[in-house]
Amino acid sequence: MCGRLSQYRGIHDFVAALSIPNALINYAGDQPFEFYNAAPPAQLALFHQEGQFLRADMVRWGWRPHWAMDRSASISTRVDRVVHNPFFRPIWPHRAIIAIDNWFEWVDEGGAKKQPYMIRRKDRTPILCAVIGQYPNAEHEPDAHDGFVFVSAEGGMVDVHDWQPVTLNPELAREWLNPATPEKRAEQIMLLHWEPTVVFEWFKVDRPVGNIRNQQSSVINPISDPSV
């Protein structure tokens, strides 16, 4: 997974996609986010469960343990490294969901520059991605070490990329979020039950998406001419 995505809808659209009945503690605001070209270390909205409540917070994309401050923050981790890798083991129990509208990948098609693609669900509903990290809660106020990483699975979107975020249907996303879900079951979900390629579609988009300063909604518009 490349480090670029869109999260432009509002938190209540994402709650509806998650179909979770829990009361919401909302620290993410009620307005559409309008992040069309977000990159690390952007603050993005994610969900985690706090007791009987669903909580939404703005959390930095990227995380590293306190003992690795001389290393770059990771933005994703492979499913086979989550549970036993010392780097990620401290945050493995802290599961969350980030709902996004699409993500981007860059593909070498033999031209002078790589071609960007935008990947979204065919039904245009939000994509529910499994993440782990360190988040604020009732006992832990926001601090500089908060952050999250995507969990990535091998496969990708046909010729677009070799890895993709672990995306879950609403039922499995709720199970992933639930603190009562045993860790063995959570491991099974991320290893075996992510959504298949068939639910997604992907399009070439214009190369200006490569400029992270370009936050115009036009960056998600498909193009028909690959030379544009």
The residues assigned a catalytic role are 2, 105
Residue closest to 192 by CA, chosen among 217, 211, 175: 175
DSSP 3-state of 66: helix
Whole-angstrom Cα distance, residue 161 to residue 202? 11
Residue closest to 54 by CA, chosen among 87, 83, 6, 97: 97
**What DSSP element (H or E) covers 120?**
strand 115-121
Q: Is the CB of residue 2 less than 8 Å from the CB of residue 152?
A: no
Whole-angstrom Cα distance, residue 159 to residue 146? 34
| Preceding peptide of 93 cis, ω within 30° | no
Q: Helical H runs in 44-192?
A: 170-177, 183-192
Q: Compute the C-alpha angle 90/93/94, nearest 5°.
A: 90
